[in-house]
Amino acid sequence: MGPAAISINHPNEHIAMTKPGLSEGTLHEQLTDSNKSAMQRYQALALGTDSVWYLVKYELIMLFASWVPGTFGLLLRKFLYPRILGKVGANVVFGQGVAIRHGLKISIGDNVIVDDGAVLDAKGGTNTGISIGDNTIISRNAVLSCKNGNITIGRDCTIGISTLIHALEGSDVTIGAQVLIGAFCYFIGSGPYVSDNLDLPFKQQGMQPQGGIKVADNVWFGSHIQVLDGVSIGTGAIVGASSLVNKDVAEMDVVAGVPARVIKSRRAS
């Protein structure tokens, strides 16, 4: 959650300072509850269900398929992974070492590629999880991480290497079709921590969701970009590399900088 600290310049930050935050305590307490066994806490973290049959199936599939290299590994995962996921379309490719959390809330369309080391984490007690559209590529070491929020990625998208998309409850992240995202980008669907009470740790004060991130169709993001909670980006926009996006971007605008500012409109070029 380190990148969320940059939200000091978020235009809606005053909201976080005047309203009570959405506490992280519930999820954290569930995962560290001393009244639960280590196995129960592991199931809450990784599986999202207390089904013993699903636990056995998940463990065996990950043990015997997740690490296998080459074509045999691809075929093995193509056959086995749909058994621990909510929905998997045709011709889906799973690379080595893909991490799956709360798999029953993960929906994947046709012809999707999930490259080596990617993380698909749909964690949460009330969310619907992760949805990935047809013909989309989730590149190596990319992380889709839910904390009771939802992540929706449209068709024909490319999610760059080591990109993080994070969705807190109340701050869903929605990405349209044909969106290009460069490497090492951060989409932080979780508002800043509330910090007005000097006597309480930040975790107890919680975070203030700003309404999520909405990216329209055909948007191009360069590398090393951070997009903060509460931002909408319009169709056909371009976001320059190393930018910090803390306010809405209109359709066809080209923006760059920290914070990002409009450089020009593509309509005028």
Alpha-helical segments (H) within 19-169: 25-32, 38-42, 52-65, 70-80
Strands (E), 62-212: 87-88, 93-94, 99-101, 106-108, 113-114, 119-121, 130-132, 137-138, 143-147, 151-153, 158-159, 164-168, 173-175, 180-181, 186-189
Buried b (16+ CB within 10 A) or exposed e, 154-176: bbbbbbbbbbbbbbbbbbbbbbb
Place of tokens 């013993």: 52
Two tokens, residue 226: 């951070």
What are the residues facing 107 on neighbouring strands? 87, 131
C-beta neighbour count of 98 within 10 angstroms: 19
Q: Are residues 114 and 121 in contact, defined by beta-carbon separation less than 8 angstroms?
A: no
Report the pLDDT value the prediction gives residue 68, as an integer from 0 to 100.
97
pLDDT in single tens digits along all 269 residues of the chain: 344 333 334 444 433 333 344 544 556 666 677 777 888 888 888 899 989 999 999 999 999 999 999 999 999 999 999 999 999 999 999 999 999 999 999 999 999 999 999 999 999 988 999 999 999 999 999 999 999 999 999 999 999 999 999 999 999 999 999 999 999 999 999 878 888 899 998 888 888 889 999 999 999 999 999 999 999 999 999 999 999 999 999 999 999 999 999 999 999 75
Report the pLDDT value the prediction gives residue 205, as an integer from 0 to 100.
83
Query: Within the chain, what is the greatest distance between any pair of CA atoms?
Result: 63
Report the pLDDT value the prediction gives residue 244, as an integer from 0 to 100.
98
- Provide the CATH number for the domain around residue 251: 2.160.10.10
The total domain count for the chain is: 1
Place of tokens 């691809």: 74
Two tokens, residue 250: 């209109």
- What is the Cα–Cα distance from 31 to 262, expressed in whole angstroms? 43
Host domain of residue 29? 2-268
Q: Which of helix, strand or coil describes residue 154?
A: coil
Task: Report the predicted TM-score, pTM, of the whole model to 2 decimal places.
Answer: 0.88
Report the pLDDT value the prediction gives residue 80, as an integer from 0 to 100.
97
Report the pLDDT value the prediction gives residue 5, as an integer from 0 to 100.
38
Report the pLDDT value the prediction gives residue 42, as an integer from 0 to 100.
84
